[in-house]
Amino acid sequence: MTEFNLDWKDRVKTANLTILIVNWNAGNYLLNCLQSIDPKYPVILVDNNSWDGSALGAAAAFPGVKLIESPVNLGFSAGNNLGLGEIDTEYTLFLNPDTEIIGDALEKMVQFLDSHPDYDAVGPRIIEADGQYSKLSGRRHFNLWFGFCEAFMLDRLFPRSPWFAGFYFPPWDRRTSRDVECLTGCAMLMRTAVVKKLGGFDESVPLFLDDNDLCRKVTDAGGKIHSLVEANIRHIHNVSGSKAPNTWLNQVSYMAHYTYLRKHGNPGIAGAYRLLLGVAGYFRVLLFAGISLIDRQYCRNLKISWDMLTFALFHCGSDRLKVCPDNHRDHSSGFELSGVNPLELDGKKKIDSLRPDCSTE
């Protein structure tokens, strides 16, 4: 296991990059992520009130990691902004807890920004758990047309079409580096000063499209963004999301897209997006209700379509979607680390934590 023996302040003095991880019940995936990080880099871990013991287990295994514990689930955006306030290094890597850094990916990304001062952000090539190159390695800015294609599943029917799947730059195969408009939030290296000047992540929606929004602010300000295939990071999807209610996840995704179009377009475009979700949801419910009678594997598609329809009809703008799930379970059920329950550690393994007052959120 990688040892983080240096004190946090010592690593900050010698590094030009700080890694920021927001955790919510990522379990052992968080330990794997930390193990893949070169210990010369300072790491900030913001824990969004996890119940699985993952943050305390990580603090015990990697005592040099700076842990910030939130008493509530702030969501991805606010969690990152909380940690960003502690960072003074030239670069910040926003990293998901269900990722693993492969080789010298961090050094290659830092070298790219060092040698390209006109770029404000760079991302690695994302490799899926099955070894495939992820299309999330680089995207375009979201717009109403892309929303139409997703709602009516045209991007899935024609995945290589520049017209219907243009959000992901087809036919780019992720084997060559290129400039992109947006990176994926699971791994984004950015100039810290630029991110702070732009106000960090938009906290109006707790999850989804927050990476697209931040990248949009970067490009609107004249910055450039690059996807670097020489740097690779493995990503296991939906580790934390699987702990949240499916309906909440589906509908907060639609809310994030609606909010993005309202912010970067106008209320008319956002209203058109809500209308197309309602129309697409209605026809998809009819389609998958019939198909599910023949093949039960399509029941999930039916559920997603129903959530789309009910969001458009009843829940657009709902305050319920702005509040992250935050279950208060029996914490003694947390996972065990090397046979030691992280909640029973002795006083010698203190956690360097800050407990922010989130009552004003």
Write the pLDDT tens digit of every residue in 278-289: 999 999 999 999
Structural domain total, the chain:
2
* Pair 32, 63 in one domain: yes
* Pair 93, 35 in one domain: yes
- The predicted model scores a pTM of 0.86
Residue 37's pLDDT band, with cuts at 50, 70 and 90, is: very high
Token representation of residue 41: 């880099």
Residue 349 has pLDDT above 80, yes or no: no
| Separation of alpha carbons 135 and 132, rounded Å | 9
Write the pLDDT tens digit of every residue in 79-111: 999 999 999 999 999 999 999 999 999 999 999
Percentage of the residues of the chain whose pLDDT score is greater than 90:
72
* Pair 218, 316 in one domain: no
* Pair 288, 314 in one domain: yes
Residue 334's pLDDT band, with cuts at 50, 70 and 90, is: very low
Decide: 349 and 60 in contact? Cβ < 8 Å. yes
* Pair 196, 343 in one domain: yes
Token representation of residue 350: 């203190």
* Pair 197, 266 in one domain: no
* Pair 184, 237 in one domain: yes
* Pair 189, 283 in one domain: no
Domain that holds residue 15: 8-134+174-242+338-354
176 exposure class (CB count in 10 Å sphere: 0-12, 13-18, 19+)? exposed
* Pair 310, 288 in one domain: yes
Write the pLDDT tens digit of every residue in 221-251: 999 999 999 999 999 877 776 777 888 889 9
pLDDT of residue 324: 74
Decide: 207 and 165 in contact? Cβ < 8 Å. no
Q: Is residue 259 part of a domain?
A: yes
* Pair 109, 79 in one domain: yes
Q: Is residue 333 part of a domain?
A: no
Residue 255 has pLDDT above 50, yes or no: yes
Write the pLDDT tens digit of every residue in 287-319: 999 999 988 889 999 999 999 999 999 999 888
* Pair 102, 21 in one domain: yes
Residue 353 has pLDDT above 80, yes or no: no
Work out the angle at residue 349's Cα, subtended by the Cα atoms of residues 43 and 36, and round it to the nearest 5 degrees: 35
Q: Is residue 300 part of a domain?
A: yes
Q: Is residue 329 part of a domain?
A: no
Token representation of residue 209: 């499209």
* Pair 51, 192 in one domain: yes
pLDDT of residue 193: 97
